[in-house]
Amino acid sequence: MSSIIDGKAIAAEMRQEMAQDVEKLTAVGTTPGLAVVLVGDDPASRVYVSMKEKACAATGIFSDEHKLSAETSEEELLALIDRLNNDSRIDGILVQLPLPDHIDENKILDAILPAKDVDGFHPYNVGRLATGNPLFRPCTPYGVMKMLEHTGVELAGKEVVVVGRSNIVGKPVALMCLAANATVTVCHSRTRDLEAQVAKADILIAAVGRPEMIRGAWVKPGAVVIDVGVNRVGEKKLVGDVEFEAAKERASAITPVPGGVGPMTITMLLYNTVESARRRAEAK
Active site residues: 52, 96, 119
C-alpha 15/C-alpha 55 separation (Å) is 9
Three-state secondary-structure class, residue 115: helix
Q: Which of 31-48 are b and which e, b meaning 16 or more Cβ less than 10 Å from the residue's Cβ?
A: bbbbbbbbbbebeebeeb
Contacts of 246 (CB under 8 A, 6+ apart): 215, 216, 217, 219
Neighbour count for residue 123 (Cβ, 10 Å) = 12
Q: What is the side-by-side strand order in the sheet with 159-163?
A: 3-4, 253-254, 224-227, 203-206, 159-163, 183-187
C-alpha 257/C-alpha 251 separation (Å) is 15
